Every structure is written in structure tokens, then in C-alpha cells.
Structure 1
């Protein structure tokens, strides 16, 4: 949220003394119950007994004091009492039961941590608190400090809100990460109190005001529409902003071909992938055709600028408007401007936002509420925080396998978030499932998580790389999702210095390539050191630029390779290229120094003067060039603090896995990954690119054992993955249903299936997990479970009937499956001599009694 907005709203707000009085009364009630001087004397039961409403952690979470830290599980308190009565740390598969001396030691350490943190806060040594070995969630410790040292902190414990406020108030960048939220809260409180409007406000009044203001802003967002940022710069043609504003449109310039005839096609995305060869173009066109009437859109450009001696990314918004027709209905095509749809602009004021230049794609679909409010409501903003945790020794390759409906996809979300940032996962998990799903969606949209589903015809060419037609009779290499994910992950492992260096070189090469493709047509001219004018005579078959001048009888070949060598020489020796040309012979030797200087000067001047906008995206193509350059030149990678990436492969066992992975199956091994002891780099068959897998790329597969047993999987694959079985958990359904005991019903059905078929075809609890009534349970049985049983047993009705409790002799019996009596004599004119099978029926309308009969 913009600081100016906060201050203006604060001026219009009259703080109530009642807010302060109520806040102090709540805080004092806690301190009276647990005085600071008595914390050292707390017993484990007084601190962590979740069975009482008078424990320390109950007061922290359940009592309405200062601000909430509710949701999730009790693991956030470091030590808690589980339902079993045991005292534990962590939860789930990481849960540890503490007993006797181990329990007392861990508890003493926890209490000492709390006392030490309070002491440091009282002494204004806030920065030292983050260095303590802290088993508590930050929001828990922050609330404890806010209770016992109230003058130093605000009752705001939400990391996203603290990050936004910190950025707006100019808090130093190193504090703008969740793990420093305690020190960040302290700095925010101090800086807000320096503002005249807040000078006389209490900390309770400030905290409550900020919290309510953020809640009010978020409530304004319409979740039924989408929000887009759209670029207006075409690579070789400059900006089309004036056209878009005058014509009330947004447009994309990729693939200059009228697509009207394909608008009603069911496979529009396939058509785009076939016709547009660049990943940036495919992404932009797919998003363009997903836009619908009512969505909000903003014209944007991104670039960098020096501010106070530091390079900052800038997001410039030129206009904001509403789309007035679905892309498929309002579509228009122009040879000059590409594909466009109508927009009604309602705000044409140009605005710039510092620190938000990361939105560099041609089209960005914005999902975060703070960015939506910042751009479309001119209110709220977001601080994007990269994960910087150290890589722990966890397996790179997982498979979650089990029968259908056992929550494999559900657990993929948890596992992916745990891998990317375990502490953030734990904090979000405390806020409930919705927070986890939103984070998973955000990471997916930003490319940290990729998703693919295997099927019978899926191939190596789809997954790694293959040849795809370019529309001109040629077949060119095309990258698959696995290769793209690996490149993204490797890019994040490049040393920062190398990334900048390679990015500059890629930009240099891109400008040179523009000369090759359009320089002659655009009649681009180069000024020599002596003031003469040179122009492009032709482009050689090797894509070298041949230049000459009007008054010269000779031509000179300027090669990209030699230009790059000169450029690197300039960078490594910090040479001022504008002052002389002598350095060129030092860099490459030979002659033609003045003509090389003319082209070099043109490229470098363009690099310095040009604002790098959307047409130059550090995305798939550019990142790929940077990574391949680093691999070929054997540059250093460091994945210690690199962002983690996750590739999710759904329905993994439906594809021919050995064929899909090919020779890259070996690269999955941890010791074959980049920077590992037995690092292995291979050459891919189609592109001839060097390729390897980085240690920060994790693969999570799901396998439905009803489709294919894992016993049939390739042994080479099985030893490269950690397999985790997920079986039905009927006990999670104990509270579902009124008359029907779903837990008992599912338990006995699965026992019968295991006897009649096998355990791979059991029925998962997830089918019923969202049911809230007996009527919904009945509907699920009729529409999902019974059809699944029919598929399993191929109309072997006796077995289906046995699973469902039995087979009725007539329709009136309390069974789901029943025999239908047929009078043979009446049906046939003469009694058949062949065997006439029994006819079975499934009742079309079930009641609770038929389901109860399954288990009683």
C-alpha cells in the first residue's frame, strides 16, 4: 500500500482512546496471568498443555489478545501436547515425541529463547533476536515480544503486510524478507511514529488502523475477473502505445497471421504452439486468447534506472482499462499491429513504480492482491521476496503413489511448498489450506513450479526436446517442459556476476542479430571515428555484416564472433571505447579497426541509451542463451542460495517413462547433477545443446496404482525415486454424515476390494472429504464410487454386490445391487437350451439405508 495513501487515510481517521484501552486491557490480562518474571518457572504443562484453556500457548492463540495468530497446528509453538497425550515437536512425518530428559532439555531451551528475546528487545538489541536459535514461528515470537515489550512493536504479525509497509517506508532491503519480520516490525513502528499524523497515536491505534486498512483494500478486489499487464513495444518496430490508446485496444505483435479461422477451434493452444516458435510468443498469445470481457488490463513497460546510486527496476503504467469483449469474440487482426481486442481506457495517467520491474513478459497475469491494488486501484503493492534458504539434503525425486482418491494431488501442493521453502510453508499452513493454494498458484505462475501430465502417447520429444515445423518446410529443435524447467533452475544457480555479464552479452548479440535480420532493410548507418558514414552493403551467408561507404571502393566483413571478443576486452579492461580505436587491434589483431569501431559504437550506444523494455525479456529464450553459454564455457554455478524449482508429473505411470526420459534418466541421480561429485553434462540429440540437471530442480510424480502397479515399473526408474505410498484414510471421515457412518462404510468396502481384487484398487477417502450431509454422500456413491467399481470389475456384478454389502434377491431388499427376475417362459416362445445368465441391476435412487447396509 502506498505510503501516501496510508497517511491520507490516517489524516481522515480519528483514533479512538477505546482502541488503546481495550488493547492494554487484553495485554495486561496476559501479563497478569503469566508475569514476565515467572516465565522461567513455567512447567511444560503450563506452557504446552493443549488440553486446558489456561496454558501459555492457549492464551497466545485462543484468547482475543492484540492480534490473531490462529489457524494451522500447534507445532508453531515449538512444543505442544498432541491428542495422544505426548509432548511433541513438529508434525506429520517430521513429528518427534519428547520424553523425560529430552523433553525437559528442549523445553528449557525454548523458555531460555523466549526470555533472552524479551531481554534483547528491552535493551533495543533487536537485530540480535534473529540470530537466536528459534524453534518458534516468527509470528509467535513477535506476539510474545509485543505483549511483554509493547512500546517497541506493533500488533501486526502478518509478513506480507510488514513487507509492504517496510518497502514503502524505505527500510533497508536486507530486512525485507519474512525471517526478519521481528526487526522489520520494530523498524516500521519507529518510522511510522516519525510521521506527524501518527506521532500522538498509540501502538494499538496504529496497528489496528493499518490492519483494518489492508483488510478494506483486499475486500474491494473482484475475484471473478482477471488482471493483466500488457506490453506495447514490438521488437523491431518500437512502441505501439499511441495506436492502442487511440484505437481503444490492446495487442500482441507475435505471429503476424490472421487467426480468425481458428477462433472456434478446441485446440487453440496447439495451433499457437505449432505456428509460433518462440516461448515468449506462445506464452503471450495463449494469455491473449484467454482474456474475457470485464477483465482489467494495464499498458506497461519495464526498465532499469539509477536511483541514489543503485540500479532499480521500474514498472511504468501508461493506461488502465477494462476489456469490453472476450478475446474470441472481439478479435481483430492487422498486418501492422498484429492481434488486438477492444478496451475501454478509464485512466491514462502515466505512473511509475520503483522496484516492480520484474513484470517483463509481453503479457503478465497478475494474481497477487497487493499488485492488483497498486496498479488497478492505485493503492496496494507487493514486495517480491526470493527464497534464499540453503539446500538441505532432501531427495530430488519423489513419487506419491496409491489408489485413486487418496489425496496425492492434494499432497503435491504441500510437498512442493515444503521443498521450495519449508519455513514459509509452515507459516502459511498455519493460515489454512487457502493460503497454501494461493502460494502454490503464485509459484506456478512465476515459473517455480511446472506441471505436466503423462499419457500413453507422450514422448521424449514433448518432454525434453524434439523437432517442430517452422511453417516454411523446415524442422527446428523445440524445447520440452523438462528442459525449460531445468534451464530456469540453472539460471538461478549462476553466480550473480556471471548472470549480469552473460545478460549483457546476450543483449549485445540480440542487437547484432537485429542488424542481420533488418539492418539492411531499415538502411541503418554507422558513424566512423572520423565522421564518415558507413552502411550495410549485404549480409553474408554466415550472417556476417558487410559494410562500406559511398566514397569507398572496398568493403569490410564484420563478424559477430570478433565483435564479441572486442566487447569482452572492453569489459575486462574497463576501456572507454568512445575515446580511441587502438584497443581493437589489441583485442582481435588485424586491420579494419575503424570499421569495427563504427559498428561496435552503434551497438554499445544503443545498449547504453535504450530503456530495456518488454521486447527484451529475461525469460525463456534469453535465460537459455545465458545458461548454455555458461555450460559451454564451464562457468561457475553456485546453488547454495538458489531458488528451488519443482516439476510435478501427474499420472506418471500412464506414460512410457523410460522412453520419455531417454538417456536423461541417468541425470536424475543426485551425484550426476550439476556441481555434484560425478557431474554429468550430455549433448542433446536434436539441438546439440549441452544439458544437465541442477540440484535445485526437484521432480514430484504421482502414480495412480489402479492404472498400473508400480511393481511393473522399470527398475532403473524405481531406484532413482523415493516412493511414498498414500493409502485410504477412512479415519479422516469420522465426522462426516448424520445417519451414515462413512468411516465404517469405506473401511469395510476397501477390505472387501483387497480380497476380491488387490490393495491397488481401493477407494480413497478424498471422494468423500468435502461431503457435508448424507444426501451428498449418497450422490458421491451413485455418481463416482459405483461407476468406479463397475470399471474395476468389468461388470462382474456378484463381486460389485459383495463389495457393496451383498446382492438382493429382489428390488425391495436393502442392497444396492439386486437380481432382476426374468420369466423365461414369457420372454421366449420356447424354452432356450442355452444358459441364460442372471441379470443384475443397480438401484437408481439410493437411500441412507442401502449405504448403512454396506457395513452393518
Structure 2
């Protein structure tokens, strides 16, 4: 190799290492040195210089690049300016996939690889070529700075081809269709009643048709997204991973064709052709959400781990944790809204590694938050530790936030609309309305009298929208008169050991950040007794961010000055006791940010009636309930519907043991005292109703 070409190679290696990733320069360079020879050998192109570093100018190489990829001038302008990574034409997609397969087969024949379909460690031909194009552009324009430089870790340009999308698909229930997927070189989706999706002009049209078919009346947001993504978002050249359960991968393939509707198929008629590159069964450390179709581009760590496992690369759990933390750090922003640059990210990671070594303590992989906080106090107070003195505390703080916001994916018990209706004494049309209100407004308040089951309903409302009982995606707090911004959002709080103060994140900030890291799944923040707190004071500057059309917008938090936003997949459910005179009304600014739904006593509900009739002494309870209905009629006339006696007073395991005894306890020690509170200025009326209720307990009328 002559000196000019060698100099060009070294300049490229240094620039790519600095701008596209620390490992990228050394990884790509050997391939570019022999790329022309490889293309000739694999019958993928001829007439090129054997060593691509022989192309010395941007204009010369741009012509070669366009000749091979068939990308337009506009595409290249977007690419080199950092404004996007245009998709390659279908013809080139097929050729670049052949490049990887042929390279793996060639190395297998030489004994370098254990399997001919093991494609790990081979850079994508397109990514390889465009890295040299970008380098030449900025080498000839030294006054310009590559815009993606500060985001190179997040973009993972040294690991994945971000000109394509990566998809995870489930081949039917319990992977029953996988053999058909493999044998017919395709992927497929259900919802056959929709017919050919080419007949639909918009995503809303698809949603409307699915909603018509659903018996539960729930807005089919997730189903619609899966169908629309399969039809419009998946494109030729995209990578498809087939999953089994929440931790296994069955195959990796490349989409080779457009969407088509196979009317001759017996089921799963929505289809796309796929070229399967690797087939087998691999188990991962990370877990997947239980969804039919998921785009993995927001999760580069998933893509990396899948490829590593499939290619039988050794995965060091600690290094995997370090890399995940590094990627997460690169997406954090300073108080000016600027992402942490590579130098800052590297410094913080290095600081944590040094702390581990110096103090002989575990950080990466540690999940005990209190343990990490104690370690931070030790490190900061140790005057002899000076190496990373200025950043050690903040580095541990970042890692604590990283752990706190880490989503959990696990096998959960499913929860259907039928489960909801058997659990909760509410009509199907009412739950459909509740779900619609919550999906559209994002914020919902359930109001009603004591004992109508608001808390019980709110949690099961979350379950039915998640379609599973996942407690990790629900967080509940209770407001009171002393609850503050510092409790809910963030604030300075005394340390546990009493030595000074520390800045602590509140539950809403922690849970919002957890939801933001898991955008494919819904999260629910439930607030009991929401009107017992001063909502304007508690929410502060976040009052704007909870609005449905403001989700995702960022503001700086009051104490930390950190950038913060409320993600669109976080739903807020509040509960409001309308019978408590001590509570202040919500102000109008807050009211317009919520939908309000009144939960009423369910004595007429068929499921509630069935529950009563299954008890060992239903006659006793039915007498009382008939009298409670008459009582409620008078309460509504004189006090309002929010003061009625709710049905929850008459539910619970104690009724299954001794119905009559439990009825007597509830009447005497819960409901009658409540009546004297209601009619504190008319004790005779309260006393009359007390006698009537006691008479029902005794079998009188």
C-alpha cells in the first residue's frame, strides 16, 4: 500500500472513531481495504478499485457510491448533513444482504466461522460505504462539524444500520405458525376480517373497522398500530426477528417484498415475503413485551444482544450493563437541553468503574438503591479519593436514576374484559366509555360516594387496558393536605442518618421516566383522594405537561433543573370522594386537564345480584339492600348523588363466612354513624333510618 493510501486510511480510522463510535474505525477499516476485491469475488460488482481508500476525493467516491446504491443527490445531502439516513432502493437491499451471507459462507469455508449462517461481526455493506462517504465530505470541509457527533452512542452507528427498521414479531399464539413462516419464507398477521389493507386510506379507517368487530367496545389502539405498522411501516430491507414467549428468538430475516393479502390462506392473510438469514432457538437475558409486533429501533441494546446471542458471541453481563448505561446516558440532557456528549459519558462511566475498584464495591449490576446512596456518601466524604472527585457523586446519581427507571418485563396473568366484568360491578358499556375517556384525555378522575369501589375499579381499569396484571406498570399514591411538590415531583429532604439534606426525586418523576423508557407499553399512575391535596401546589410547572397534547414536551424541574417530560404512554387516574365536605373543589385550570366520571352504587348490576345470591344467607342481605336503595333515594333528593351509600359496604370475604353477622356489623358501626354525619342538623331523621336498618337486620320490615 502506498503512502498516500495509507495516510488516507489512518485519517479515516481516526475520524470515524471520533465521530461514529470508538470501535468503529478499527472495525470498518479492513473491510474497506478489500471491499472492491470482495465485490468482485462475490459477483456483486466489478470495475471498482480493490482498495476503496484509493478513492481520494468526495466527488469521485460519490459517483461510485451512487452507482452502487442508486441513491439520489437529495438522499446523499440528507445523509452527509446528518438530517437523516435515507432507505436504500430494494435492489441494493437485496445485494447488501447477499454480501453479508456470502462473506459468512466464505469465512466458514476457511474455518474462520463455526456456521455458514453465523453473520456476527460483519458490517453492513451500506453502513460501511456511507461511513467513507461522510468522512470524505467532512475531510474536504474541515470547518464543518458532523451533526451526529454528539449523539453517536445513542445512534449506535457502529452497531446497527439505522437506514432500516428492526422488528420483533410473534408467529401466532405459542409460536404455532413458525413452521409455516419458515417454510413459505414469509411473515403474517391476523385480523383477516379487515380484508386487503390497500383498501384503507388511513390508520383511522383501520381502527374504526377493528372497533366495529370488538365486542367489548374498547378502542383498539394497540391492534391498530400492529396492523398499520405491518402494512405501511415495514419496508423491504427491514430486519425481522421472530420471537417465542418473552425471552426466545427463533429467527432473523430480511423483508424482501411489499405487503400483500393472501385470500387463499386459511388464516393470517396479511403477509410479507422474508429471506431467512438465521434459524434456530436462542434465549436472551433481556425480556420482550408481550405484543404481536414491536419496532426495536428505540431499543438498540435489544438489537445488539439479539445479534450477539444469535452469533454465539460471549456476553459479559457486567459489560452489557455498562453498555446499556452508556446508551442511556447518551440520551440524557443538560439543563440547557443539550445531550451529554461522548466525553462526558465516557468520564462518568470511567468514574463508576474507578469507584468500584478503589472502594471494592459493586455499582454495575447493583439494584439496591439505598446501597448505592450509601456508597455515594462514602465516596463524596472520603477526602483521600481525588481521581474523580468532581464527578463521582453525580455519576452515582445518574446510575441510581438509570436503575430506578428501568422497565420490568415478566410473565403475567392475563386480564380480559370478561375478567373485568366478573370482578367489578359495572356494565360493559360503562367500562368501554371509561377506557375511551382515558385513552383520549390521558387523565381521568373517578368521582363518587364512599363505598362505590373507585379504588378497586381504577386498578382493574389499568389491568384491562394492559391486558394483563402487571403491577410493575402501576404506581399508586394518596394525597393529603400536607402533600407537596417536594413529595410528588422532587425536593430537598433530610438524609436518613440526619446529616444534612439530599435532592430526592418524587414518585411521579421516577415513574414517568420508567414509562418513557418503555414506550411500547402503557403505564398507570393512580392517585387516591386526589382532591385532598392542593393540586396546583403539588404539580407546579408540571400542570401543563400532563395535558394530552403536551405529552413529550420538556421543561426544567424546579430543584434539579433537569429536563423532564410526561410520556404519552403514562395515564393518570385520580379518585375523588364527593361526600367529604372538608375537601376543596378543584380549580378550573386543573379540571380541564381531566375527564370526570361518576361511579354510582351498583345494586342493580346483574353481577352484583349474582354475587349476593351465591352467599349462604342472601335473604338477609337482600332485605338490607332494598332498604339501602330507599335510603339512597332520600339522600339524593336532600344531599345529592355523591352522598349515597355504596355497594362496597356489602362485599368482602366476611360475608361468605357469616352473612347475617357481617351485615349487622356494617349497618351498626359503619353506615349508621355515616347517617348521623349526613344529618348532623336533623338527628331525628338519622335515628329513624337507623331504626329501619336495624329492623331489616332483625328480619323486620
- TM-score computed with the length of structure 1 as normaliser: 0.32
Larger helix proportion, structure 1 or 2? 2
Larger strand proportion, structure 1 or 2? 1
Larger RCO, structures 1/2 (Cα 8 Å, 6+ apart): 1
- TM-score computed with the length of structure 2 as normaliser: 0.39
**Pair member with larger Rg:** 1
